[in-house]
């Protein structure tokens, strides 16, 4: 509860700081907000392997709704986000219980606004936390805490990771930790990663994990968007001493249950600060679940097995079985596999 109270307070403070944003950002027209966000997304590779067409369509609907409502600037979109969400979804009460399709539309619209405002803030060197802080709550998605994240949520998480480069310190550790989990590591695996596990300290592109209780040893390719986040954390850690390259990157305590709890706590806080609500966040393990499901649908069972470091393809199915899979193609793929 204390973490929840602290997070609520920090979001309230950030939301109240809107007027501290650069005036050129606050006065930016909605078409410029849309174009700047899309260009920033492209330049930073954050839409790679996401459903970019749907994300662009959602943002276009937001822009159309702004036109209907007379919302003309970045400041007005920030302050009237709830009205824009109602206009786009045609739902009078965004926080009331909603059917799966309506809840999905509410969250996609909300996160589209948050992602665009955050991208524009980062493009202009402003505080992205202010941009995301005032996003209104909406009805939760179907599946509860054991659902896989949606693509619009992955976009928020990636943008947050890039913002932690500016923040440094503990926030950068969390951004690096998220980057490694989305790459394909379980949260507890990230607590054992050291500078020596990367192919390059200044420009890392791969990371080697020795595995864990449930995963085998393997080398993973970092997504292009994640490389600068990991590079910034490596640079921060190694700046003081050449020997620091042998230290763990995301955790300094004892391995085991404490390390697992630390990773989970970091990622829960990180997800909230990315724009998730307190009452609608998947468990941290679901992040790697999203990556596994994405690899399985795009490349097949064998590649998903390699990603997780599993000895048998059947173990991939059991791993995904802990999540409520909303994407319709996943159960179909599982049903067609004849190895179970």
What digits encode the pLDDT tens for the residues 253-266? Answer: 777 788 889 999 99
Report domain extents, the chain. 2-142, 163-274, 286-336
Confidence of residue 77 (pLDDT cuts 50, 70, 90): very high
* pTM greater than 0.85 (yes/no): yes
pLDDT for residue 325: 63
Nearest residue to 183 (alpha-carbon basis) of 330, 309, 312, 301: 309
139-149 as b/e, with b when 16 or more CB fall inside 10 Å?
bbbebeeebbb
Hey, is 148 helix, strand or coil? coil
CA distance 111 to 126: 19
Q: How many CB atoms lie within 10 A of CB 287?
A: 26
Nearest-10 Cα torsion for 244, 250, 256, 262: 140
Residue 268: CB atoms within 10 Å: 18
27-31, 182-186, 309-313: which has the minimum mean pLDDT?
Answer: 309-313
Q: Across residues 268-286, what is the average pLDDT?
A: 88
HSE value, Cβ hemisphere, 13 Å, CA-based, for 32: 13
């Amino acid at each position: 509860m204390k973490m929840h109270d602290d997070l609520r307070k920090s979001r309230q403070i950030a939301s109240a700081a809107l007027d501290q944003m650069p005036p050129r950002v606050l006065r930016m027209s909605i078409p410029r907000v849309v174009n700047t966000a899309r260009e920033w997304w492209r330049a930073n590779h954050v839409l790679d392997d996401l459903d970019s067409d749907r994300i662009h369509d959602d943002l276009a609907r937001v822009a159309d709704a702004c036109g209907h409502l007379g919302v003309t600037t970045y400041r007005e979109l920030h302050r009237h986000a709830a009205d824009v969400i109602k206009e786009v979804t045609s739902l009078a009460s965004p926080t009331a219980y909603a059917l799966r399709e309506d809840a999905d539309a509410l969250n996609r619209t909300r996160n589209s606004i948050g992602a665009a405002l955050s991208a524009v803030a980062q493009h202009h060197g402003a505080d992205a936390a202010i941009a995301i802080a005032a996003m209104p709550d909406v009805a939760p998605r179907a599946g509860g805490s054991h659902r896989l994240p949606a693509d619009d949520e992955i976009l928020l998480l990636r943008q947050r990771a890039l913002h932690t480069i500016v923040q440094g310190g503990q926030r950068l550790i969390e951004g690096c930790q998220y980057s490694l989990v989305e790459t394909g590591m379980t949260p507890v695996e990230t607590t054992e990663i050291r500078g020596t596990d990367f192919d390059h300290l200044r420009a890392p592109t791969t990371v080697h994990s020795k595995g864990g209780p449930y995963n085998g040893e393997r080398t993973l390719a970092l997504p292009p968007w994640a490389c600068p986040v990991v590079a910034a954390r490596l640079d921060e850690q190694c700046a003081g001493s050449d020997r620091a390259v042998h230290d763990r990157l995301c955790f300094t305590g004892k391995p085991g249950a404490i390390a697992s709890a630390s990773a989970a706590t970091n990622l829960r806080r990180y997800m909230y600060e990315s724009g998730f609500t307190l009452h609608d966040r998947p468990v941290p393990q679901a992040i790697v679940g999203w990556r596994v499901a994405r690899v399985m649908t795009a490349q097949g069972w064998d590649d998903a097995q390699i990603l997780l470091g599993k000895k048998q393809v059947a173990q991939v199915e059991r791993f995904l079985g802990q999540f409520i899979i909303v994407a319709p193609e996943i159960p179909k793929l599982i049903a067609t596999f004849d190895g179970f």
